[in-house]
Amino acid sequence: MCICTYNKKDLGEKPSLMIMELLICGSTWLVPSIVSDCMDILKAKAPSMVISELVELFQCAHNVNNKELIDISKNNLSRFKTTMNCYDALLLTSDVFEQYVILAEGLLPEIERFKMIQAYITVSGLIHHETAEPSLDVVDDKNNENDSGVGDVAIPKSNSEDSGGEDPQTEGEPGTSKAICDSNVQKTEVHKDSDLLDEAKDSKIKLIHLKYIKTLLGYIKFNNMTKNDVYNVIGKSNLLNFKEKFDALYLTTY
Domain ranges of the chain: 8-123
Report helix, strand and coil shares of the chain as percent, to nearest 5: 65, 0, 35
DSSP for 19-88 reads HHHHHHHHHHTT-HHHHHHHHHHHHHHGGG--HHHHHHHHHHHHHTT-HHHHHHHHHHHTTTGGG-S-GG
Residue 183's CB is within 10 A of a number of other CB atoms, namely: 12
pLDDT (tens digit, 9 = 90+) per residue, 221-230? 999 999 999 9
Least Cα distance to 49 among 22, 23, 17, 81 occurs for: 17
Query: What's the rounded Cα separation, in Å, for the pair 114 and 240?
Result: 11
Higher pLDDT among residues 130 and 5, named by residue:
5
Half-sphere CA count of 226, side-chain side, radius 13 A: 5
pLDDT tens for 214-249 read 999 999 999 999 999 999 999 999 999 999 999 998
pLDDT in tens, 124-154: 999 865 444 443 333 344 444 444 443 344 4
Our CA dihedral for 24, 28, 34, 37, rounded to 10 degrees, sits at 40
Burial of 117 (0-12, 13-18, 19+ CB in 10 A): buried
Per-residue pLDDT tens for 12-29? Answer: 889 999 999 999 999 999
Within 8 A by CB and 6+ apart from 161, the residues are: 177
**Mean of pLDDT values over 156-167:** 50
C-alpha pair distances (Å), 214 with each of 49, 52, 118, 209: 33, 27, 11, 9
Residue 108 sits at φ, ψ, to 5 deg, of: -90, 145
